[in-house]
Amino acid sequence: MPVAADHRTVPGTGELLLREQLLDHFSNSRAAYVGNAVNAAITMLVCSTVAPLPMLAAFGLVLCLLLLWRHMVGVKFRNLADNSHLPAIAGQVDAYAAGLSVYWAVTISMLFALADPGRQMVLGILAGGMMSGGVASYRTRERAALIY
């Protein structure tokens, strides 16, 4: 009985699959930027009276840098002339998935320690929302999803 070929045995299909995964991933960049920015704004507003302003400003700056990194990787992907750099771009997606997951874990954890129970509930809801958003954002990149 013949064995069906998969993307690991048919030449070029692994690159095609990776390109499609990355294309899908970067197609939702605008939603990812908005989701992160809105959740960061809510987080900062909720904790503005319990957290020091420099801490909140640092959280905002770090998020801006992480989203800029995502944007730059997306631009690099869209400007590719061939598939030779796809694995490197996929590695960058994995890396900024790790960066965003650490960012949200540290941000929520630090603010949780400063917050009263009502704010803690809001922070918990935001954390759950960010986890759900990560599932949608990294749905085609298994490694990035697992890292996040």
Q: What pLDDT sits at residue 11?
A: 52
Residue with tokens 């061939």: 82
The pLDDT of residue 84 is 87
Smallest CA-to-CA distance from 134 within 106, 98, 109, 108 is with 98
Residue-wise pLDDT for 70-85, tens only, equals 999 999 999 998 888 9
Distance CA 148, CA 143 (A): 9
Q: Report whether 27 contacts 43 (CB < 8 A).
A: no
Query: In this predicted model, what pLDDT tens digit does every residue of 37-82 receive, in sequence order?
Result: 999 999 999 999 999 999 999 999 999 999 999 999 999 999 998 8
Mind listing the pLDDT tens digit for each residue in 115-148? 999 999 999 999 999 888 888 889 888 888 888 8
